[in-house]
Structure 1
Amino acid sequence: MTACWVRGAVREIEADFQRSADTHLIRLPLPDFPGIHLYLKDESTHPSGSLKHRLARSLFLYALCNGWLRENSTVIEASSGSTAISEAYFARLLGLPFIAVMPASTARRKIEQIAFYGGRCHFVEHSAQIYAASEHLARDLGGHYMDQFTYAERATDWRGNNNIADSIYRQMAREPFPMPRYLVMGAGTGGTSATLGRYIRYQGHPTELVVVDPENSVFHDYYHRRDPQITSPLGSRIEGIGRPRVEPSFIPDVIDRMIAVPDAASIAALHWLERALGRRAGASTGTNLCGALQLAAEMRQRGEQGSIVTLLCDSGDRYPDTYYSDSWVAEHIGAIPPLFPG
């Protein structure tokens, strides 16, 4: 009976994939950077609304094929919100109970979306507490802890098979500069940066992978110091990226460069993007955009032309009470400088 249920669950997830279209690649005009083209891979159009839809699908398939998920299993995940929403989507698809373990400060809209898909939330005060709380819940309930922070880098087929890297290069094929000079990505689990970096090397592309990191995250320091014991007493204020500890799925050796981005700059980029694109994105997209614009400025200074690709990770509709609230930004981030001074 268990094997039959697993086969049916895998078919259900694969059928859902077949019903889903690829995400758009948007070219963002940069009149101040002639000959430099910036693209946003719009991951907000997935059925569960973010880049994490890809990861959640891979994690569920990985758990099913490893024999970790059974009929009626309770699925538990440690998350800052978006992965939990996507996993709640797939849990509902398979008729499984789902619990998200997350900081109490997580955006209210994300909590509502988890509930919409039938999941429930277990709150902790600090992001560093999500791991132990998830393990305890899984033991107490006899459920399965998905553990995205350990399995993200291995659950996705990085060689191709329509992963995000393969999709980007196919969509760039007819652009003026089809081979990106840079791919820019923030790291939460490190799973997407691992997929991108491995794919670039496997295909022999000259593209450089640049990972951006917000304040209160240890990834930037770890990349340079390689001390796995580094921790941060504070959690990232940019939901979806940045971690207070070095996660097992963060693979530094597939990354060519890391850029530390101040949180205020991420928010400034968000508001600039809203004017340029006509809609809102989440704060991790602002961090990505800051890194991409810094690289564009460096290319312009060197007299280079080419293309840069980054990700629009989720919609700003999830953050009306935080990143798009002047009072919240003033209290938690501070003064926001202009993105382009002068």
Structure 2
Amino acid sequence: MSARPAAEAGPPAGTVDADRSDPAYRDWLKEAVRRVQADANRSADTHLLRFPLPERWGVDLYLKDESTHPTGSLKHRLARSLFLYGLCNGWIRPGRPVVEASSGSTAVSEAYFAQLIGVPFIAVMPRGTSPEKCRLIEFHGGRCHFVDDPRTMYEESAALAAASGGHYMDQFTYAERATDWRGNNNIAESVYQQMRRERHPEPAWIVATAGTGGTSATIARYVRYMQYDTRVCVADPENSCFFDGWANHDPGAVSDRGSRIEGIGRPRMEPSFVPHAIDRMMKVPDAASVAAVRALEGVLGRRAGGSTGTGLWSALKIVAEMAAEGRPGSVVTLLCDPGDRYLDKYYSDAWLARQGLDITPYAEVIAAFLATGRWPRAGL
């Protein structure tokens, strides 16, 4: 199932490429890199929101709000890094399309950067991707190419890149290496800078979710590089193989269906997922993810996507464990993207009914925890 980028070594066989030392190409490349770097220079840091909990618990919870990026999600950071990586490697060429396998948010962000530097963009995605994400991809000048089986996205993307002479970006391979995990204002460095004046400035736990695995790898590597005592937990949704692969030390773990939580969960162990850097994983029921984002709206007045709920459910469980053991500290998780992209899914009772998801018991657990500080059901 693994497919390498079809165009990273140059154009398809049978074509002649004479522009590698062409001054016109180098001028285009310098301008493209300047535009991508200028986007970063214009961007302020994203907010670190405090999730209100009683002071007496001794535990503080924060959400890093990545929905405020220009393209509205955590994937804006990744897309910027991937474009710089592809440009500086000579893989992205003027006039040739960039192709990506994506369930939505990465494609929205990559469409933005493709338009910024003036190259075509094609997103290969499952047919059930939210219409709002498709609209945003097209708004930024991209084109959507749908597949019925999410497991075929890799091969389809590589084939499209080969046929067009373009570049298959392959976020699932390059996410963990395109981002500078030592710093350079990556998401981990940003969190620690923003936590400096909090009562527990070094988080006991940072909770992430995994689509490519690049974010959790960046955070975990930065923690070790800076010699912090923070632990990293990855929350995994249903229909994803990451938890099983991590728990069983099985790099060949697979899932026979796609994740219902868009943006996270994969049917195979992706190359950018670095299991040995992670301290803990939790398997989160999809109904719990939805209950958590609806609870978030009630507490902060903010709607978020399902992946935020997956991480928030795990973060709340960790807070409950710390409070029960009398361990003061802080926990940080991510607000990955806005909920208005999913009004027809996670905020639709009709969609929940069609999926056979009952969020009631999970909503009751969250409500009881916020009222009492105790996690009332050991099995949830």
TM range (shorter): over 0.9
Q: Does 1:9 align with 2:12?
A: no
Amino acid at match of 1:339: A
Q: Does 1:218 align with 2:241?
A: yes
Give, in angstroms, the shift of residue 16 of structure 1: 1.2
User: Contact (CA 8 Å) 1:272, 1:339: kept in 2 or not?
Assistant: yes
TM-score normalised per structure 1:
0.98
User: Contact (CA 8 Å) 1:222, 1:246: kept in 2 or not?
Assistant: yes
Give, in angstroms, the shift of residue 10 of structure 1: 0.4
Give the structure 2 partner of residue 44 of structure 1: 67
Distance 1:85 1:66 in 2: 22
Give the structure 2 partner of residue 81 of structure 1: 104
Distance 2:291 2:278 in 1: 26
1:162-241 residue pairs with structure 2 within 5 A?
162-241=185-264
Give the structure 2 partner of residue 288 of structure 1: 311
Give the structure 2 partner of residue 248 of structure 1: 271
Q: Of residues 349, 353, 371 in structure 2, which corresponds to 1:330?
A: 353
Give the gaps of 5 or more residues in structure 1. none
Distance 1:333 1:7 in 2: 52
Q: Does 1:278 align with 2:301?
A: yes
Give, in angstroms, the shift of residue 338 of structure 1: 3.7
User: Contact (CA 8 Å) 2:82, 2:175: kept in 1 or not?
Assistant: yes
Give the structure 1 partner of residue 115 of structure 2: 92
Q: Does 1:147 align with 2:147?
A: no
User: Contact (CA 8 Å) 2:58, 2:328: kept in 1 or not?
Assistant: yes
Distance 1:89 1:206 in 2: 37
Q: Does 1:104 align with 2:127?
A: yes
Q: Does 1:122 align with 2:142?
A: no
Secondary structure of the residue aligned to 1:320 is coil
User: Contact (CA 8 Å) 2:50, 2:62: kept in 1 or not?
Assistant: yes
Secondary structure of the residue aligned to 1:339 is helix
Secondary structure of the residue aligned to 1:105 is coil
Amino acid at match of 1:218: C
Q: Of residues 354, 357, 363 in structure 2, which corresponds to 1:339?
A: 363
Give the structure 2 partner of residue 31 of structure 1: 54
Give the structure 2 partner of residue 69 of structure 1: 92
Secondary structure of the residue aligned to 1:170 is helix
Give, in angstroms, the shift of residue 77 of structure 1: 0.2
The size of the alignment, in residue pairs, is 342
User: Contact (CA 8 Å) 2:287, 2:362: kept in 1 or not?
Assistant: no
Secondary structure of the residue aligned to 2:57 is coil
Give the structure 1 partner of residue 291 of structure 2: 268
Q: % of aligned pairs identical?
A: 62
Give, in angstroms, the shift of residue 220 of structure 1: 0.3
Distance 1:109 1:225 in 2: 37
User: Contact (CA 8 Å) 1:33, 1:297: kept in 2 or not?
Assistant: no
Any idea what the Cα deviations from partners look like across 1:102-127, whole Å, max 9, x if unmatched? 00000110000000001010000121
Secondary structure of the residue aligned to 2:45 is coil
Detail structure 1 runs of 4+ shifted over 2 Å in the superposition: 337-342
Amino acid at match of 2:190: S
Residues 210 and 333 (structure 1 numbering): CA distance in 2 closer, same or farther, change over 3 Å? farther
Give, in angstroms, the shift of residue 320 of structure 1: 0.9
Provide the alpha-carbon RMSD of the alignment: 1.0
Give the gaps of 5 or more residues in structure 2. 1-23, 369-380
Distance 2:362 2:44 in 1: 36
User: Contact (CA 8 Å) 1:264, 1:333: kept in 2 or not?
Assistant: no
Q: Of residues 63, 74, 78 in structure 2, which corresponds to 1:55?
A: 78
